[in-house]
Structures are given as C-alpha cells and as structure tokens.
Amino acid sequence: MSGEKTAGSLEPGGPELADVLLEVSPNGVLVTGADGRLLRVNPAALRLLPMVGDPVGRPVDDAVLVPAVAQALDPARDDRQEFAITVGNRELFVRAQALGPEQVPGGRGRLAIIEDITVLRRAERTRSEFVANVSHELRTPATSIAGYAETLLDDGERLPDDARRMVEVIHRNARRLTALFDDLLYLSRLDAREGPLPVTAVALEPVVAETLEKVAQAAAARDITLQTFGLPGVRVRANREALGHIVQNLVENAVKYSHDGGVVTVGARRRDDGWRLEVIDVGIGIDPALHDRIFERFYRVDKGRSRAAGGTGLGLAIVKRLCDKMGARVSVRSQLGSGTVFHVWMADPEPTDGEDPPAVGPVADGG
C-alpha cells in the first residue's frame, strides 16, 4: 500500500531507521568490507577516534589512526574481541566481531562498536580510592583491638569464664574485620593496577605445598584430609604471588565448606595446551543457578553459614580478578549436596618467560 511504513524506514523516501540510529548513537560504529575498506563510520566514531579527514572508502589501516582498533577491523579476522584502550584523555571500550554475507557486500566484513567509558572508569577509581582509604583507616584500630584481646587471652586463666568468652568473641570478630580490610585493600590495589600482571614459568607443586601447610591446622581441627595428585613437574605461565593467592583462597574455601571428616584434593590435569589446577571438596555444593554469581564481590551462597565460617565474601572475587589479570581462566562445577570442583586453567610457559625462583614468597590471608 502506498505510503506504508516499514520496519526499516521512518517515512516513505526518508532515511532508514538504522541510518538514523547510527547518526544519534553515543557509541562509535565502524564497518569494514571484505577488501578492508571502511563502509560506515558514524559521527560518534569520528568524535572518539583520530582518523583521516574523510575515512569512508579508505583502507582501515590508513583511515583509523589507532592501531588496535584498525587491527580489530581487519576482515581476515573471524573472532570476537573486547578490549579497553586509552586515546588521548578518553578511555574507550571496543567490541568487534565478524559480519557475514547477509550484512555486508562482498560476503565478509567487521563491525566495531566504540564506547566512551571515561566517566565510568573515573567513578570506579574514585570508589576504589574511597574503599582503600576507609579500609586502611579502619584496619589500624581493628588490628589493635585484636592484639589487645589476644594479650588478654594469653593470660586467660586469670579471667572469669564469662569474661573470657566475651574476649574470645572480641578477638574473633576483630580478626574477621582485619581480614575483610586486607581483602578490600588487596582488591583496590588490583583495580588500580593498569594492564596485566607480569608472568613467569612457575612450578605448581611448591605453591600448593605452602598453601596446604597454612591450612593444615584448620583442616586437622575438623578431621579433614588434604591430598594432592598430578603436581610434580607441572610448570605453568603465571604470576607467582597471584597464583599463591588463588590457590590459598580456593583451598581455604574448600576446607571451610567441607563436612567434618571430609577430603579436600588439589591436583593438576593436562588441558588444551596448558594445565588445569583443580581444587575438589565433597562438601555442601553450590546450586548451578548460582554459579555465575559466586565470583561477585560480597556474594554469599549461604549467608548464615558463610558468616559462621568467618569468610569475607571476597575470596572468589579476588580469585577471578587475579585470573583475569594473569591470563588464566577460572570456572566451577558443582551440585547441591555433591561437593564442588574449582578449575583454574593456565597456559604452558612461553620460551621467552623468565624462570621464577624456587622459594614461594609470603601470601596474604585470603577470604
């Protein structure tokens, strides 16, 4: 019928809806064709990225003066990419993906969407600085309270039973606060750090051995057996200090949520040009519907049990952040009542990776 509007247009003979959306979008949009020339560049992209005067029709390598973005728009690529870059005084987030024959002439191309995240990153930094400052200021009195309470307990036989129980509560909760502030400060330092962590070739067995030594007393108190498999000779591409934090947080978690008399196992299996560290318990398990949330900060599957066990709710968030920072991947497999397996995949060392010293340095308390 004459004058009928369609899903792709605003008015008969007028601009296509997609064209209007591209014009008004706050996000930059760039499209390359099969020959690597730019087919579409919207106004936001021109504002966010340095380019030649009239980029449409030019080879992307010549037109876009930001190499990382130009490479992401190479039509020879068929992967999806997401990365952050700094251009001038702006922080940008780039998403790029391949386009098929139904989307671009010539049958192949690339789409990149550029989002200005400058304000978001500034807010994140402000929040992290606030958390770090508050945590630092509160950690000092919490440490003092814990220290004085411990001194009283050392001379506890002179205290009445009721007074001793109250001092034990003070000591336990002051230590819990100190652990929370330590984790908050550690996460703040990670957030403030730009770029990935440096990695070397790291022997896995001594890192695990040190962690098991640290948790042995807590495990023995509940008759939990600690065992290992597949660790001798395994070397991975990792940051040694970060790997220590990762292993300690996962093993402490496994002990914390195991049943008395249970077993916690730490081992390694060969997987996909790398090694998969496994931390296995036969404890209470995790509902599969919650697997995506357990790496969020302060998220607790069982809030009552978590508080009773003394966790900060930050341990798994630290694990996820450290894995991201050193190129590892963490995942979980679990069912309620059937225990939990955490996997951390790490690549084989590169020939150019340096050798890490054999001794494992001290690892801060985990969550």
DSSP letter, residue 289: G
Handedness of CA 209, 211, 212, 217 (dihedral sign): positive
Which two three-digit tokens encode residue 244? Answer: 């220590």
Segment 227-252, tens digit of pLDDT: 999 999 999 999 999 999 999 999 99
Decide if pLDDT at 310 tops 60. no
pLDDT at 101: 77
Quote the mean pLDDT of the chain. Answer: 85
Which has more confidence, 55 or 300? 55
Provide the pLDDT confidence category of residue 309 given band limits of 50, 70 and 90.
low
Place of tokens 């809806």: 17
pLDDT at 68: 92
Q: Mean per-residue pLDDT for 149-160? A: 85
pLDDT at 7: 40
**151 neighbors 167 (Cβ within 8 angstroms):** no
Segment 112-141, tens digit of pLDDT: 999 999 998 888 778 778 877 888 888 889
Of 131-140, 164-173, 266-275, the one with minimum mean pLDDT is 131-140
**66 neighbors 50 (Cβ within 8 angstroms):** yes
**267 neighbors 229 (Cβ within 8 angstroms):** yes
pTM, two decimal places: 0.63
**34 neighbors 75 (Cβ within 8 angstroms):** yes
Q: What is the DSSP string of 151-188?
A: HHHHTGGGS-HHHHHHHHHHHHHHHHHHHHHHHHHHHH
pLDDT at 302: 62
Angstrom CA distances, 215 to 225, 246, 252, 284, 333, stand at 11, 14, 7, 19, 23
Q: Name the nearest CA neighbour of 306 among 263, 248, 252.
A: 252
Which has more confidence, 289 or 302? 289
Q: Mean per-residue pLDDT for 141-170? A: 88
**What is the per-residue burial (b if ≥16 Cβ within 10 Å, else e) of 23-59?**
eeeebbbbbbbbebbbbbbbebbeebbebeeebeebe
Q: Mean per-residue pLDDT for 148-159? A: 85
Provide the pLDDT confidence category of residue 265 given band limits of 50, 70 and 90.
very high
Which has more confidence, 248 or 7? 248
Full set of structural domains in the chain with CATH? 17-116 (3.30.450.20), 118-194 (1.10.287.130), 196-367 (3.30.565.10)
Q: Mean per-residue pLDDT for 28-57? A: 91
pLDDT at 366: 39
From first CA to last CA, the distance across the chain in angstroms is 67
Segment 194-203, tens digit of pLDDT: 778 899 999 9
Provide the pLDDT confidence category of residue 303 given band limits of 50, 70 and 90.
low
β-strand 225-229 against 263-270: which pairing, if any?
Answer: parallel
**321 neighbors 184 (Cβ within 8 angstroms):** no
Percent of the chain with pLDDT over 70: 89
**33 neighbors 73 (Cβ within 8 angstroms):** no
Q: Mean per-residue pLDDT for 50-59? A: 90
